[in-house]
Amino acid sequence: MTTTTAADVLSLELSEKVLARLATLGAAVPVGTGVPTRSPLSGGTLFELAATDAAGVAAAVQRAAAAQRDWRMVPAPQRGAVVRRLGELLREHKDTLADIVTVETGKIVSEARGEVQEMIDICEYAVGLSRQLWGRTIASERPGHRLSESWHPIGVVGVISAFNFPVAVWAWNTAVALVCGDSVVWKPSELAPLSALGSAALLERALVESGHSPDISQVVLGDRAVGEALVDDSSVALVSATGSVRMGREVGPRVAARFGRTLLELGGNNAAVITPSADLKLVTTGVVFAAAGTAGQRCTSLRRLIVHRSVKEQVLAKLTAAYSRLPIGDPFDSGTLVGPLISAKAGDAFRAAVEAAVGQGGEVLAGGNLVAVDGLSGVFAMPTIVDMPEQAGIVLEETFAPILYVLTYDDFDEAIALNNAVSQGLSAAVFTRDQQEAERFIADDGADTGIANVNIGTSGAEIGGAFGGEKETGGGRESGSDSWKAYMRRSTNTVNYSSALPLAQGVTFLS
Ligand code: NAD
């Protein structure tokens, strides 16, 4: 006889909650085998979805490729109108979709709604972009010639996303790819397929309502094997993959082997430098949100605090006091600031990292343990601060949990060197009121990261800027600025409107 546990009862409640939300969004739920859906609130399985097999992935790519042949001929502002409609639907269903994100990822309600808001923001950005896909005219060296460049849709974009931003990453890619004239095949994280089904249903509605083929957007479900099938499909022109460095190390060479393009958004190991002139009020809020927010499960989460010796005691006193008051608990409760880790495995990684840090001579100043939360059976980590004697070993790794390592510096050059002496290069911040230090931090010899901030934390980027990082973070840029260029192919065009045919570089031939 099997006994029903409290976790089972909670899983059942959560299943009902997500199924009701998916129905509101008009999403079909492909029940089957291969993709068990889980919630970090209960730590248990909700129900199982059907995984897409290799033939199913190939068929989805072919459907997307066929639909893209028509889509690329739709004027970009009209493509923008579809994205505008998607944005409206997301606005209308913001809380419904956010609830699914909370069930699947354990994100607190405010952050889950923030994630959907980010989807709405990128839609609005992409609508404007749809009227600004420009090319240049360049001075030609030949008389009667015009030299220019034009940008064209690249084709099918494969989007592979991570669990921690289960829907925003798709929206960053998809809103921009759609106005660029591409179609999209999405392989969401196997840890968060339900919010993907909900989001894709809203896009399907926007496409159909505007008289376009729903095939422009495809979703394939499953684990890395499904991702690999997408990666190896030569009809996928661009693979935009977000996840761990390990994943990028595998995906990058596979796509390169078939001369496809990649946009890689991989792990980070982000630092903030706290200088003697820093405004400590900003430091406390900025550091605590960046390090403990989303339970340390953002690619931009703050993991290293590089603090000047003269203010170290003061800074740590403020931070440990703030950490002692952080409410850990049910992400659906409005008072909670720290929800669960994604899985028991993530809990093990948290424990192992704290142990390793202590083994390296680290002193735990706050947190350090997993905690139980009444009524929930997921894995909760106490936001943790560890004072480290040096930057080595575990400090060089990204542990996807709320652990902040403290390092001490005496000289600003040393702080920049510490910031840069890791293999990842996503985000960095300096807290200072000294203009020379602020400028130096973002100068050529400053932080070597894709994002470098002054007087704000490392996380919580706006969509208007290009998002991504250097070194093992993968080098990709998505979202704002000119990231759209990654989703298009560039054609250089020379038009001769004279009646002579002069060759470039003064070469003579048949003349
Ligand atoms: P993960 O690497 O385990 O999985 C990410 C996605 O890649 C999943 O959909 C997974 O199924 C797929 N995948 C894994 N191996 C694959 C392979 N060999 N071929 C094809 N697909 C494969 O990452 P995760 O645990 O879901 O997410 C956490 C990681 O993502 C962290 O390292 C975090 O820093 C990173 N991340 C980076 C960004 C960014 O923008 N730089 C954003 C969010 C998350």
For atom 19 of ligand 1, which residue has the closest CA? 228
Rounded CA-CA distance 53/373 in Å is 38
- DSSP string over 348-377: HHHHHHHHHHHHTT-EEEE--SEE--TT--
Which parts of 123-269 are beta strand (E)? 137-138, 145-153, 156-160, 183-187, 217-219, 236-242, 261-265
Residue 128 has pLDDT above 90, yes or no: yes
Mutation pick for ligand 1 pocket among 164, 190, 247, 258 (CB with most ligand atoms within 8 Å): 247
In a domain, residue 34? The reply is: no
Is the CB of 189 inside a 6 Å radius of any atom of ligand 1?
A: yes
In a domain, residue 16? The reply is: no
92 and 137 together in one domain: yes
Is the CB of 243 inside a 6 Å radius of any atom of ligand 1?
A: yes
Number of domain units in the chain? 2
Predicted local confidence at residue 1, as pLDDT = 60
Predicted local confidence at residue 227, as pLDDT = 98
Instruction: Encode pLDDT of 230-245 as tens digits.
Output: 999 999 999 999 999 9
Residue 118, classed as helix, strand or coil, is helix
248 and 306 together in one domain: no
C-alpha 364 – ligand 1 centre gap (Å): 29
430 and 484 together in one domain: no
C-alpha 353 – ligand 1 centre gap (Å): 20
Mean pLDDT of 269-295: 98
Please enumerate, as own/partner, the contacts of 333-339 that have beta carbons within 8 Å and a separation of 24 or more.
334/109, 336/108, 337/108, 337/292, 337/293, 338/108, 338/292, 338/295, 338/380, 338/383, 338/402, 339/40, 339/41, 339/102, 339/106, 339/107, 339/108, 339/294, 339/295, 339/380
A 10 A CB-CB count for 509 gives: 6
Query: What integer best gives the mean pLDDT of the chain?
Result: 97
174 and 256 together in one domain: yes
In a domain, residue 117? The reply is: yes
92 and 229 together in one domain: yes
CATH number at residue 445: 3.40.309.10
Q: Say if residues 422 and 398 touch (Cβ distance below 8 Å).
A: no
Residue 2 has pLDDT above 90, yes or no: no
Q: In ligand 1, which atom is closest to the CA atom of 467?
A: 40
Instruction: Encode pLDDT of 288-330 as tens digits.
Output: 999 999 999 999 999 999 999 999 999 999 999 999 999 999 9
128 and 179 together in one domain: yes
Mean pLDDT of 338-354: 98
Rounded CA-CA distance 284/305 in Å is 12
217 and 95 together in one domain: yes
Distant-in-sequence, close-in-space partners of 293: CB < 8 Å, separation ≥ 6 = 111, 301, 337, 459, 460
User: What one-letter code names the amino acid at 50?
Assistant: A
Mutation pick for ligand 1 pocket among 224, 258, 449 (CB with most ligand atoms within 8 Å): 224
Q: Assess whether 265 carries a catalytic annotation.
A: yes
C-alpha 168 – ligand 1 centre gap (Å): 14
- Residue 492 C-alpha from the chain's centroid: 32
In a domain, residue 169? The reply is: yes
ipTM for the complex? 0.98
In a domain, residue 508? The reply is: no
Predicted local confidence at residue 3, as pLDDT = 84
248 and 174 together in one domain: yes
Instruction: Encode pLDDT of 181-233 as tens digits.
Output: 999 999 999 999 999 999 999 999 999 999 999 999 999 999 999 999 999 99
Instruction: Encode pLDDT of 134-164 as tens digits.
Output: 999 999 999 999 999 999 999 999 999 999 9
292 and 244 together in one domain: no
Strand pairing report for 488-496 and 145-153 = antiparallel
Rounded CA-CA distance 403/290 in Å is 11
Rounded CA-CA distance 273/224 in Å is 36
Mean pLDDT of 27-33: 96
In a domain, residue 308? The reply is: yes
Closest CA to 52 of 301, 211, 168, 225: 225
Q: Say if residues 188 and 161 touch (Cβ distance below 8 Å).
A: yes
CATH number at residue 256: 3.40.605.10
Predicted local confidence at residue 179, as pLDDT = 98
C-alpha 189 – ligand 1 centre gap (Å): 8
Closest CA to 298 of 93, 90, 434, 469: 469
Is the CB of 199 inside a 6 Å radius of any atom of ligand 1?
A: no
User: Of residues 104, 265, 437, 478, which has the active-site annotation?
Assistant: 265
For atom 41 of ligand 1, which residue has the closest CA? 265
Predicted local confidence at residue 155, as pLDDT = 98
93 and 235 together in one domain: yes
- DSSP string over 426-472: SEEEEE-S-HHHHHHHTSTTS--SSEEEESS-SS---TTSEE--EET
Rounded CA-CA distance 339/328 in Å is 6
Q: In ligand 1, which atom is closest to the CA atom of 165?
A: 43
Mean pLDDT of 83-108: 98
Instruction: Encode pLDDT of 446-479 as tens digits.
Output: 999 999 999 999 999 999 999 999 999 999 999 9
Closest CA to 236 of 157, 153, 154: 157
- DSSP string over 141-164: SSTTEEEEEEEEE--EEEEE--SS
In a domain, residue 35? The reply is: no
Instruction: Encode pLDDT of 65-78 as tens digits.
Output: 999 999 999 999 99
199 and 95 together in one domain: yes
In a domain, residue 4? The reply is: no
Closest CA to 426 of 253, 265, 228, 199: 265
Percent of the chain with pLDDT over 90: 99
Q: What is the domain extent for residue 403?
A: 270-465
Tokens read off for 254: 């596979």
300 and 431 together in one domain: yes
Rounded CA-CA distance 384/341 in Å is 14
Mutation pick for ligand 1 pocket among 242, 249, 398, 427 (CB with most ligand atoms within 8 Å): 242
pTM of the model: 0.98
